[in-house]
Amino acid sequence: MTYKALSEAVIKGDVNQAKAETQKAADGGADPQHVLDDCLIAAMDVVGEKFAQGAMFVPQMLRSAKTMQACVAVLKPHFRGGGMTTKGKVILGTVKGDLHDIGKNLVAMMLEGAGFQIVDLGVDVAPEAFVKAVHEENGQVVGMSALLSTTMPAMAETVKALENAGKRKELKIMIGGAPVTAEYADRIGADSYAPDAGTAVTEAKKLLNAQ
């Protein structure tokens, strides 16, 4: 099944319509993983393409992401056994000393919309707190942001802390923020640099070889 009405509602950002369509599909016995992968995430891929073409603006894309998340909430009780399969788990936070989180929050929403599971540690996250979260949450990607040049060194410290904790090899690390550059990512041994939220999604997919 293709669930055209649901796809369209997600693309349009019509939350009520999309939730109703999701409920209808679930009640009709649809496989929730199928609805998630082939309808909701597929719709968000269309949104991503439209945005890349300049045919959609950020608030419209975020509304679609919000709509998609509302649909996932409707689907959740219908997953049995192994539960929901996502594209991967991403642990996010602004680094120690940095309190600016608009960019990080955008990245979280966009990644969620693209089918990733997010663990948002918030702002001013110490290296040890990243390490702890990696231990507890079993995430595959750590995303860090910094707005200030004075807080950028905390990114390197966090990478070190993850190395010392023996977690570095099983992780992908992605960084971003105004003063951050691709060269800096290289220098501190991060795997990837994303200049904006859209790129964070493509980079996360690349890092995990996800579609």
Residue numbers at the binding site for another protein (CB under 8 A):
51, 54, 57-59, 99-100, 102-103, 106, 148-150, 152-153, 178-179, 181, 183, 196-197
Distance between CA atoms of residues 73 and 165, nearest Å: 34
Task: Please report, for residues 98, 105, 122, the alpha-carbon distance to residue 102 in angstroms, rounded to integers and kept in the order given.
Answer: 12, 5, 11
Q: Which is nearer to another protein, 88 or 198 (CB)?
A: 198
Q: Which is nearer to another protein, 161 or 200 (CB)?
A: 200
Q: Which is nearer to another protein, 150 or 164 (CB)?
A: 150
* Closest CB 54 distance from another protein, rounded Å: 7
Q: Which is nearer to another protein, 146 or 171 (CB)?
A: 146
* Closest CB 107 distance from another protein, rounded Å: 10
Q: Which is nearer to another protein, 92 or 197 (CB)?
A: 197
* Closest CB 184 distance from another protein, rounded Å: 9
* Closest CB 19 distance from another protein, rounded Å: 25
Q: Would you say 67 and 13 are in contact if contact means Cβ atoms under 8 Å apart?
A: yes
Question: What's the 3-state SS for 16-84?
Answer: HHHHHHHHHHHHCCCCHHHHHHHHHHHHHHHHHHHHHCCCCCHHHHHHHHHHHHHHHHHHHHHCCCCCC
Q: Residue 51's Cα: distance from chain center in Å? A: 17
* Closest CB 156 distance from another protein, rounded Å: 11
